[in-house]
């Protein structure tokens, strides 16, 4: 084999090696991007929560079991305590007597989600609930933890869920 042939083969091998290295670097770069998708917006999370709730007959207990991860730990602890108290007193109404997502005892006919405020890791998302022509508005407060948005409170015209759950827990403690 002559020197010119060896040089051409060496050049071809180096070019192929460089091509493979570039392809591998591009694949790693692409994987890094795909592995870290942009976190969903708070409005998207609330919309998914309500779509699930409405798709499953607006059964609060079932929705909460399926979507528990969407609720911040403090709110989840309050909801869990309320649920335990209700289960322990099956013969009477103890705790929440309405659907916290709809602020109603009856099933709503539709909902619309709209952003109200978004500031850094906090957001408030409004939900307009319709029962035929009657309208109810609720606001969900959310906090982002890492890439996840979690519901921290639900606000109604008559108050908010966290305050109500705390008051119900205090009433149960005093009744003992």
One domain for residues 23 and 102: no
- Report the pLDDT value the prediction gives residue 3, as an integer from 0 to 100: 56
Residues 54, 22 within the same domain: no
| Dihedrals phi, psi of 124, to nearest 5 degrees | -125, 130
pLDDT digits (tens, 9 = 90+) for 20-54: 444 444 444 444 444 455 567 999 999 999 999 99
- What is the domain count for the chain? 2
The whole-number pLDDT of residue 25 equals 44
Same-domain check for residues 74 and 149: yes
pLDDT for the residue numbered 55: 98
Query: Are residue 131 and residue 159 in the same domain, yes or no?
Result: yes
Q: Do 46 and 31 share a structural domain?
A: no
- The reported pLDDT for the residue numbered 39 is 60
- Quick one: tokens of 6? 């060896």
Same domain membership, residue 165 and residue 80: yes
Residue 9 above 80 pLDDT? no
**% of the chain beyond a pLDDT of 90:** 65
The answer to whether residues 2 and 80 belong to one domain is no
Q: Note whether 169 and 99 are same-domain residues.
A: yes
Is 71 found in the same domain as 22?
no
60 touches 101 (CB < 8 A): yes
Q: Which two tokens stand for residue 28?
A: 């790693």
Assign residue 92 the CATH number of its domain: 3.10.450.50
Structural domain boundaries enclosing 24: 1-37
Q: What is the DSSP-derived secondary structure letter of residue 108? A: P
pLDDT band of 151, cuts 50, 70, 90: very high
Residues 100 and 84 in one domain: yes
The DSSP result for 4-57, as a single string, is HHHHHHHHHHHHHHHHHHHHHHHHHHHHHHHHSPPPPPHHHHHHHHHHHHHHTT
Percent of the chain at pLDDT above 70? 77
pTM of the predicted model as reported, rounded to 2 decimal places:
0.76
Identify whether the C-beta of residue 132 lies closer than 8 Å to the C-beta of residue 45: no
Quote the pLDDT of residue 107.
Answer: 96
Q: What is the pLDDT of residue 33?
A: 46
Q: How do residues 52-106 score in pLDDT, each as one tens digit? A: 999 999 999 999 999 999 999 999 999 999 999 888 877 776 789 999 999 999 9
> Measured between alpha carbons, how far is residue 10 from residues 13, 21, 23, 154 in Å?
5, 16, 20, 69
Q: Which of 86-90, 119-123, 165-169 has the lowest mean pLDDT?
A: 86-90
User: Do 113 and 53 lie in a common domain?
Assistant: yes
Same domain? 83 vs 13: no
């Amino acid at each position: 084999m002559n020197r010119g042939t060896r040089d051409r083969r060496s050049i071809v091998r180096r070019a192929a090696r460089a091509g493979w290295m570039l392809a591998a670097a591009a694949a790693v770069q692409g994987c890094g991007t795909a592995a870290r998708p942009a976190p969903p917006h708070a409005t998207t999370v609330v919309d998914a929560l309500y779509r699930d709730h409405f798709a499953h007959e607006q059964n609060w207990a079932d929705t909460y079991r399926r979507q528990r991860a969407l609720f911040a730990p403090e709110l989840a602890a309050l909801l869990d305590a309320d649920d335990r108290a209700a289960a322990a007193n099956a013969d009477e109404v103890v705790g929440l007597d309405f659907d916290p997502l709809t602020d109603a005892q009856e099933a709503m006919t539709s909902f619309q989600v709209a952003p109200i405020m978004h500031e850094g890791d906090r957001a408030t998302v409004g939900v307009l609930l319709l029962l035929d022509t009657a309208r109810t508005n609720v606001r969900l407060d959310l906090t982002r933890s890492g890439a996840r948005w979690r519901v921290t409170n639900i606000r109604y015209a008559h108050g908010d869920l966290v305050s109500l759950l705390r008051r119900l827990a205090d009433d149960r403690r005093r009744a003992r």
